[in-house]
Structure 1
Amino acid sequence: MAEAHQAVAFQFTITPEGIDLQLSYQALNQIYLSGVRSWKKRVSRMRNSLIKGVFPASPSSWLFVAIGILATMYMQSDPSMGLISKIQQHLPLRYGGQTMLSALVFSTLLWLSLILALRFCLKLLLSYHHWMFEQHGRVSNTTKVWVSLVRLFSSRKPLLYSYQTSLPHLPVPAISDTLSRYLESVRPLLTDPEFKRMTNLAGQFESNLGNRLQRYLKLKALWATNYVSHSHTQIHSGKEHFTVRDFLYVTPTPVQAARAGNTITALLLYRRKVNREELKPSRVPGTVIPLCAAQCERMFNTTRTPGTETDVLQHWQDSEFVAVYNKGRFFRLWVYRAGRLLSPREIEYQIQRILDDPSPPLPGEERLGALTAGDRVPWAQIRKQYFSSGVNKRSLDAIERAAFFVTLDDEEQGMKGDDPAGNLDRYAKSLLHGKCYDRWFDKSFSIVIYKNGKSGLNAEHSWADAPTVAHLWEYTLATDAFQLGYTEDGHCKGEVERSLPHPQRLSWEIPSEVQAQASSSLAVAQALADDVDCHVFPFREFGKGRIKKCRISPDAFIQISLQLAYFRDRGGFCLTYEASMTRLFREGRTETVRSCSNESCAFIRALEGRECRRLFRKASEKHQNLYRMAMTGAGIDRHLFCLYVVSKYLGVESAFLKEVLSEPWRLSTSQTPVQQMELFDLKNHPDFISLGGGFGPVADDGYGVSYIIVGEDMINFHVSSKHSCKETDSHRFGAQISRALQDIMTLLSADAKTTSSSSSSSSSSSSSSSSSSKDKKLL
């Protein structure tokens, strides 16, 4: 009761003697400090807005312009060519300093004009993408000049969002180019009659409905920042989640509350950097080319709210608490006190209070989160009817407005025990869906802290893509392990203020209708979760270091290996999705690299012959070109999808688009990029390597493959499929991936040896015969 009174700043009662007023100076002081923190944040935002608004110039450059104008006027020269005099005539004031004021007005207008000109020049520079298609080591003079100019414009230290207004808009490809590239991508998957039929469909679409839809799409591109981005805020499809996992070999502490304390602190420190725009803008690796940072804006305090037709992303400016779930109970945990972020030790103390809380769940509370895991329409209807007022609304608001969601899981996970491989699989599966009711799947992301201190992150896909979440998670892991650290007994460092109020238990009034729907949603989600087969394995035979020695792109090497693995697993080829990004453009998200190409299929079919090495390099170059085209706005699938959206809006049907969008992605792949290697000292701490991320299969009879290239000598894979499909098996496909990687490396190594030995005429004939015999053993 005493803790409750501390939250009240003042209270008064009316007595026969008058009004009895009681003040709580401690509560008033907390209100004052919270207000100071709020105003500091507002001032910081205003300062950052000014700095961003004048980028690539600086606010201080106005002073140089003004001094220059005044200096030329002092020398009896008019740099404005009469404009200062005209400004002076229209000024309402009449006093001696009127000339000075009109000169300052002209200086300001000139300064703003220069900023707009600089920004336009920077946008033109960032619209140049030919550099990406040049061969390594053969840089043209045009690109060299372009790099120098971009470096010049980037010489000032930019804020996180400084480049946003200078990024070019995503171009709408010509419909003939998209259709041509589409037909090329499906050619190896279709028989001659099927391909002829699809060619005719594409031709009819282009000559009739396609050009009409293209005009509407170009019209949208004129006023929209990104002609694709609208589909990410108005979400029609089902929910999709992905995960990123903890260190593979290391758990920094076995104390669950302590791991939660450091993890929550690291995430809030990252949020502070985002809010203050102190993070460096992401760039194309190895270059000065900036990437769009718009996804960072919705990272925290964001929830996907269900609708009967479309879901909508809701974002709040800030919040000083997180939502916590443990043993069927929901809590609001305040992480700030009097404007101060709690220390990791204090957050650990509060988390331990939640873990020690003996109170049971309220009726219907334990499985309430299943509503976010099932069908969206029933959840939208239940939310509107039972969660729009009263205690349920207040508790739901506490979850949805929270910075993020935290699950204190009562299970142990990770690579442990007598079956480390099987435990890794169970860890990945648990992180992906848990019990289907112990995560709040509508939140932008949920942190899971297991009983033995292992951790992980489950992210909702509509607000952002894997690289954005991976960047957050890299910072969190590194800050947790190397900066915040733990005491010798595994607890967080720092002191505890024992007067902290208890975490607030959320109250619910859940009627039988809501409980019934939660049970129904849980049954739907549980059936889907039980069907997912996950397999996680580290590939340690070699990594990107050895691949690069063969002068091959590591990503192309892995993607072609996946094609070979699928061919051996299923006896054919399939439509393959590889996620690329279009963040070279403003509000860019993802694009599809259709990795199954004519060139990759030709290599795999010819693997037993002598020409396979040449075909592999040709397939690798083709894959790299497809990836570059996707990055530079010349992809296929986003354009076709937007044409389909326009057709639905106009109420017209297209047989071609309907068939294209119904084609299953039986092999869906994605790379989890490592973006901040400087945070991890793998030389002195080689065990602190990440397991990467993962996701479920897209097609019922297909595979989902996620991989992360760790350091120079390891590649971690996450393979998923469905138990209900008798033709797929995640463990079998994982073995095929390992075999394909090694076989292609053997091929390239033999090629390198052959090239080396061919310089010596005495061994040329024996080299040729040995490489031929090696090729024949691969399939």
Structure 2
Amino acid sequence: MAEAHSAVAFNFSVTHEGVSIDYDWELFSILCKAGVRSWKKSISRLVNNIRNGLYPASHRSLVLVWTVLYGGELSKPGFDFSFGASSRVEGFVPQHLAEIHPQLPRCLAVFVTGVGMWSCLSVFRRYMLKALFSYKGWMLESRGKNSKVSLATRLWFVAVRIFEGSSPLLYSYQSCLPSLPLPSVADTMQRYLRSVRALCNDEEFERLTKLAQEFQAGPGRRFQRYLWFKSWWAPNYVTDWWEEFIYLRGRSAIMVNSNFYAADAILMKVTTNQCARAANLIHAAFLFRRMIDFQTLKPILLQGVIPLCSAQYARLFNTTRVPGVETDRIRHSHDSTHIAVYHKGRYFKIITHYRGRLLYPPELQRQLEQVVVDDSKPSSAELYLGALTATDRVTWAVARKEYFRRGINKPSLDAIERAAFVVILDDEDLVYDEKDPDKLDHYAQMLLHGKGFDRWYDKSFNMIIGRNARAGINVEHSWADAPVAGHCWEYCIYTDHARLGYDEDGNTKGYNEFNSRELSIKELPRPIRLKWDINDDCQNVIFKAKADADKILSDVDLHVERFAEYGKRIIKKCRVSPDAYLQMALQLAYFRDQGKFNLTYEASMTRLFRDGRTETVRPCTMESCEWVRSMLDEKATKEEKKQKLVDACNTHQMGYQNAMCGKGIDRHMFCLYVISKYLEIDSPFLKEVLCEPWRLSTSQTPINQTGFLNLDDHPEWIAAGGGFGPVADDGYGVSYLIAGEDNFFFHVSSKRSCPQTDSTRFSKNISQALLEMRDIIV
């Protein structure tokens, strides 16, 4: 009840002596500051939305237009730079205003004309930028010191510089980004058949070709017309359906199957104090959120010119996935001034903003220390509560509605779901030891799934801090893709070490002088232990969810391989894309591991277009298969192997570029399939294509999105990257990171229940493939 009493700003009572009013001026002050903070954010959001709506124009360009028009009016002899527009507008100005001042009607006409000309110019510049950003010729040209840029690309670059605005905000380019283009059915069929040719014998390929031709000439034409209509009114014809049908309508558990993770900078040891590290990382995360809220975070520009869509950043914080019986939904709050903290089975609510400001790291550290020293014990059901978010979505949706939407459970659940994010203070160490690779595997497993009940998997992200102060994040996938979460995490790690830092005792800076700061520990709001009322029926559901989670995580075989024999520096000598090079290594390793080729998935982004997310690249091509066979052919010469490697890499790079440019295969066919389901028309071709298993699913982890990292000067900044669970029951999931010039990290996952797969064995095959490839390129 103490929290309830402290929340009352004033009370009054009526007695025989009159009305007695008791004010709490300190609490009134706190409430006023909180209100001011909210108003500041609202006003800033409004101003930024106006600026983004006007981009690439600005108020300075409006002043310039007015200056030119008024300058012409005042010059001798006068010159009308509006070419008669001001005179026509003057005819609509009430002439009685001349009684106030003879020149007032003319001044108003010039003022309105200037606004009109500026608006037309702004719209023209915006559409010119949208047209210019539709040009993708720059992507097809080689890069490097000796590369020549075509005249068309150079002129395009100059035109972009002319029409773009200055000082763009995070979302300034959104209205300038082109819509995702819709490829023709014929083009998609052609690319699809080429992508599977290497995986089919002549008879199978002939059958697929016939199915594709029948689909193209038959229902495909009708489906395409509906999709064409959607592509005209929707900014992106894929994203909403992709989010709904691939993520939110999935009824299986999201732990392992959907969520992914990112690890720490494992070569760097900044402190061993768990609460201090957590405090710095929490503070850094809120600084990143502030940059998103006020849009001071710079949009990512490829080659300093081409913007990527920033829409996904909006749901990074204050977001949770809410389960439903048929479909989930994403709930996002505009603001949240608290975090939810999990420690040894207990959940706490910690206020992060007090008296209108973000708490400093020492203040956050003291708050977290109160959580750690709290010796209260959770009930057995409370301990496993998080398992509900790890089980299938229907079970969790029914339980949430039945047991957690009334009584004391409702505000406790709301405290977690409305938190900015969830912080996990783990009760075991997260260790990297070069001499014991198994410890890094365990580290990755704890980030991917933990114990199956000690994460809140629905939250946009869980920040996990081990007992030894190593950290990582677990990210829910539906709201965004890995680069956005990775950008935030990279900023947190950098800010933690390079800007915030620790004192000689491993505490946050200023910790020992805490009580002499603006606030003392006694003045801070204390962590609130969340209470739960769990009856026997709910307890049974939780225990079953925990058992289901145990089955899922016990089947995960996850291995992290650090390859430090060579890196990107050597690959450059071959003049091929490092990503394509590593994909070829995966093809060789997979063939050695399984004795055959298989359909391979690589994720590429489509954020060159508005609301873009991902597209599929198919690395297993005819050229890659020819190269793999040459590597196993003792008669093939070194020059032949190298040339076939270059050809395979170039083919792969072309496929990657096509995917980025909206000329992919799988998202188009996915949308055609959705149309077929809406129309209730079965397509044997689409059904077969979308049921093909991805036994090798891969993704590259982006690095240095902040632009702050210099791995040559600071090799300790090398991070281990992150990973995800296996996509197919009998396949591998591989996430890889190009860490600087001389390191690769591979996160390989599979299922223990499959006798044909072994993550450690496959990782060794990747390393062996890379060593063999070095021998043919140097």
TM-score by length of 2: 0.93
Tell me which residue corresponds to 1:305: 322
Alpha-carbon distance in 2 for matches of 1:142, 1:578: 31
Q: CA deviation at 1:122?
A: 0.6
Alpha-carbon distance in 2 for matches of 1:253, 1:61: 50
Residue number among 348, 358, 361 corresponding to 1:331 in the alignment:
348
Tell me which residue corresponds to 1:26: 26
Alpha-carbon distance in 2 for matches of 1:119, 1:588: 19
Alpha-carbon distance in 1 for matches of 2:650, 2:756: 31
Q: CA deviation at 1:502?
A: 1.0
The aligned runs of 1:587-598 (5 Å cut-off) are: 587-598=611-622
Tell me which residue corresponds to 1:282: 300
Tell me which residue corresponds to 2:249: 236
Q: Quick check: 1:689 aligned with 2:705?
A: no
Tell me which residue corresponds to 1:343: 360
Tell me which residue corresponds to 1:49: 49
Q: CA deviation at 1:231?
A: 2.2
Alpha-carbon distance in 2 for matches of 1:715, 1:9: 57
Q: Quick check: 1:65 aligned with 2:72?
A: no
CA contact (8 A) 1:362 1:508 kept: no
Alpha-carbon distance in 1 for matches of 2:479, 2:214: 36
Alpha-carbon displacement from aligned partner over 1:349-386 (angstroms, at most 9, x marks no partner): 00010111122225632222111111111222222233
Q: Quick check: 1:382 aligned with 2:392?
A: no
CA contact (8 A) 1:323 1:404 kept: yes
The aligned runs of 1:362-441 (5 Å cut-off) are: 362=379, 364-416=381-433, 420-441=436-457
Tell me which residue corresponds to 2:187: 177
- SS of the residue corresponding to residue 347 of structure 1 reads helix
| One-letter amino acid of the counterpart of residue 266, structure 2 | L
TM-score by length of 1: 0.93
- SS of the residue corresponding to residue 616 of structure 2 reads strand
Alpha-carbon displacement from aligned partner over 1:557-594 (angstroms, at most 9, x marks no partner): 10000000000010010100111000100001001110
The aligned runs of 1:436-447 (5 Å cut-off) are: 436-447=452-463
| One-letter amino acid of the counterpart of residue 548, structure 1 | K
Alpha-carbon distance in 1 for matches of 2:713, 2:214: 62
- SS of the residue corresponding to residue 428 of structure 2 reads coil
Alpha-carbon distance in 1 for matches of 2:69, 2:363: 57
Alpha-carbon distance in 2 for matches of 1:385, 1:95: 69
Q: Quick check: 1:131 aligned with 2:138?
A: yes
Residue number among 583, 587, 598 corresponding to 1:559 in the alignment:
583
Farther-moved stretch of structure 1 (588-597 vs 323-332):
323-332
Tell me which residue corresponds to 1:211: 221
Say if 1:89 and 1:485 are closer, same or farther in 2 by CA, change over 3 A: same
Tell me which residue corresponds to 1:659: 688
Q: CA deviation at 1:526?
A: 1.7
Q: CA deviation at 1:612?
A: 2.1
Alpha-carbon distance in 2 for matches of 1:231, 1:259: 39
- SS of the residue corresponding to residue 383 of structure 2 reads coil
Alpha-carbon distance in 2 for matches of 1:583, 1:146: 20
Alpha-carbon distance in 1 for matches of 2:462, 2:113: 52
Farther-moved stretch of structure 1 (392-401 vs 74-83):
74-83
Q: CA deviation at 1:78?
A: 4.3
Alpha-carbon displacement from aligned partner over 1:404-426 (angstroms, at most 9, x marks no partner): 1111111111214x962000001
| One-letter amino acid of the counterpart of residue 541, structure 1 | E
Q: CA deviation at 1:514?
A: 2.2
Alpha-carbon distance in 2 for matches of 1:262, 1:509: 33
Q: CA deviation at 1:13?
A: 2.7
Residue number among 226, 233, 241 corresponding to 2:236 in the alignment:
226
| One-letter amino acid of the counterpart of residue 736, structure 1 | N
Residue number among 623, 635, 641 corresponding to 1:612 in the alignment:
641
Q: CA deviation at 1:69?
A: 2.1
Q: Quick check: 1:161 aligned with 2:188?
A: no
Tell me which residue corresponds to 1:95: 97
Alpha-carbon distance in 2 for matches of 1:86, 1:515: 77
Q: Quick check: 1:110 aligned with 2:117?
A: yes
Q: Quick check: 1:520 aligned with 2:544?
A: yes
Alpha-carbon distance in 2 for matches of 1:310, 1:5: 40
The aligned runs of 1:429-578 (5 Å cut-off) are: 429-494=445-510, 495-496=514-515, 497-498=520-521, 499-578=523-602
| One-letter amino acid of the counterpart of residue 582, structure 1 | T
CA contact (8 A) 1:3 1:501 kept: no
Q: CA deviation at 1:14?
A: 3.0
Q: Quick check: 1:647 aligned with 2:663?
A: no
| One-letter amino acid of the counterpart of residue 140, structure 2 | F
Tell me which residue corresponds to 1:318: 335
CA contact (8 A) 1:188 1:598 kept: yes
- SS of the residue corresponding to residue 547 of structure 2 reads helix
CA contact (8 A) 1:541 1:713 kept: yes
Say if 1:544 and 1:579 are closer, same or farther in 2 by CA, change over 3 A: same
- List alignment gaps of at least 5 residues for structure 2: 99-103
CA contact (8 A) 1:369 1:437 kept: yes
| One-letter amino acid of the counterpart of residue 162, structure 2 | L
Tell me which residue corresponds to 2:728: 699
Compute the RMSD of aligned alpha carbons: 1.8
- SS of the residue corresponding to residue 679 of structure 1 reads coil
Q: Quick check: 1:202 aligned with 2:212?
A: yes
Q: CA deviation at 1:712?
A: 0.6
Alpha-carbon distance in 1 for matches of 2:107, 2:563: 71
Q: CA deviation at 1:223?
A: 0.6
Farther-moved stretch of structure 1 (54-63 vs 85-94):
85-94
Alpha-carbon distance in 1 for matches of 2:132, 2:365: 49
Overall identity of the aligned pairs, in % = 50
Q: Quick check: 1:746 aligned with 2:746?
A: no
Count of matched residue positions in the alignment of Structure 1 and Structure 2: 747
- SS of the residue corresponding to residue 478 of structure 1 reads helix
Q: Quick check: 1:713 aligned with 2:715?
A: no
Q: CA deviation at 1:153?
A: 3.4
CA contact (8 A) 1:233 1:313 kept: no
Farther-moved stretch of structure 1 (140-149 vs 363-372):
363-372
CA contact (8 A) 2:57 2:165 kept: no
Q: CA deviation at 1:211?
A: 0.8
Q: CA deviation at 1:81?
A: 5.1
Tell me which residue corresponds to 1:756: none
Q: CA deviation at 1:517?
A: 1.9
Q: CA deviation at 1:639?
A: 0.5
Tell me which residue corresponds to 2:101: none
Farther-moved stretch of structure 1 (617-626 vs 683-692):
683-692
Alpha-carbon distance in 2 for matches of 1:558, 1:296: 29
Alpha-carbon distance in 2 for matches of 1:730, 1:91: 78
Tell me which residue corresponds to 1:775: none
Say if 1:232 and 1:299 are closer, same or farther in 2 by CA, change over 3 A: farther
CA contact (8 A) 1:363 1:510 kept: no
Q: Quick check: 1:291 aligned with 2:304?
A: no
Residue number among 131, 134, 151 corresponding to 1:141 in the alignment:
151
Alpha-carbon distance in 2 for matches of 1:744, 1:312: 46
Alpha-carbon distance in 2 for matches of 1:166, 1:612: 45
Say if 1:620 and 1:317 are closer, same or farther in 2 by CA, change over 3 A: same
Farther-moved stretch of structure 1 (91-100 vs 465-474):
91-100
Alpha-carbon distance in 1 for matches of 2:575, 2:79: 62
CA contact (8 A) 2:381 2:543 kept: no
Tell me which residue corresponds to 2:627: 603
Q: CA deviation at 1:683?
A: 4.5
Q: CA deviation at 1:274?
A: 0.8
Alpha-carbon displacement from aligned partner over 1:238-261 (angstroms, at most 9, x marks no partner): 431111001222231111111110
CA contact (8 A) 1:232 1:463 kept: no
| One-letter amino acid of the counterpart of residue 97, structure 2 | Y
CA contact (8 A) 1:253 1:486 kept: yes
CA contact (8 A) 1:253 1:453 kept: yes
